[in-house]
Chains A and B, each alone.
Chain A
Amino acid sequence: MTYTRISNGGLLMTVIPGLRTKLYLETDHLLLVEQLILLERYKRFYFRDIQAITATQSARWIVFGTIWGSLALVATLSFMVHHPLAVSAGAFFIALFGFAFVHNLILGPTCVVLLRTAVQTHRLAPLERIRIFHQRMATIEPLIREAQLPDTPPSNPP
C-alpha cells in the first residue's frame, strides 16, 4: 500500500512525541497514525463508513498565541541584566518563542475536527487548523462521495 501524507499535525505535534499524529490517504480509506513514544498506532477510516466530518471553531490558537507572545516578552526582560550569558539566553528564547508565535499566526485559526462513523466518533487532530481543514477536505470529500455512491441496479434484459 502506498500512503500519501496529507497532514503531519503541525509543529508542536512534531516536537512533542506523545502528541504526534499524522493523517495519510489511501485509495479507499484515511489512516490516522498516532505515535506514543515507542509505539505507533494505526486507525483506519474507510470512506464507505464515514458518516460525517465536522469542524467547530476553537480558541486554541488565541491561547497558544498569548502563551508564546507572553513568553517572548518575558524573555526580553533578560536584556535588563547586563551580562553576556543572560543576553545570549534571552536572545535564544526570544527567537524560539517568537518563532512559535509567528508560526501560530501564519497557520491561522484552529478548530476541533470530529470524524463520525456508525460505531465511533474520533478526533482528527492533524486537521485542526481551519485553512488546512478546508484544503484537505477538498481532496477527501470527493473520494468519500464516490465511495458512497449507491450501487446502480443491473439492467434487466428484456
Chain B
Amino acid sequence: VECFAKVRTQKDETGLVRYAVLYDNVALFLVTAPVVTVIFWIFTIFTAPISLFLSFYHWSRQWNLVRRSRLRFGISILLSLLLIAFWTFIIYLAVSKRK
C-alpha cells in the first residue's frame, strides 16, 4: 500500500496521479480572500508576502495533469506587490509621524 501511495505522487507516473494542488489558486486566495471579506483585510500584511513567495516559487514548479495557464500567478504577483506597497507606505507614514 505504501509503495502504491508513493507511486501516486510521482509526476512521471501520470496514470496513477489522483490530485494536484493548485498553488496559483492558493496564491490568489491569499491576496483576495482577506480583502473581499473586509474584516480580515489587516491579515494582508502577512498573506501578501506569502502569496508573492508562492507565486515565484511555484511559477515553474506548478504541475498539473492537464495544461494550465499562469494567468492566476500573474494576477497574484500584481496584487501582492500592490498590497506590499500599500503596507510599506502605511508603515512609513506611522514611523515618520512618530519621529
Contacts and interface: CB of A to CB of B under 8 A. Distances in A.
A3 B65 CA distance: 8
Q: Is chain A's binding surface mostly helix, strand, loop or mixed?
A: strand
Q: How large is the interface on B (under 10, 10 to 19, 20 to 34, 35 or more residues)?
A: 10 to 19
Contacts of B14: 1
Contact of B19 (A31, A37, A41): A41
B26 interface: yes
Nearest to A24: B66
B76 to A, nearest CB: 13
Contact of B66 (A31, A38, A39): A31
Contacts of A42: 17-20, 65
A35 B22 CA distance: 9
19 contacts: A1-B65, A3-B67, A24-B66, A31-B66, A37-B22, A38-B21, A38-B22, A38-B29, A39-B20, A40-B19, A40-B20, A40-B21, A40-B22, A40-B64, A41-B18, A42-B17, A42-B19, A42-B65, A44-B15
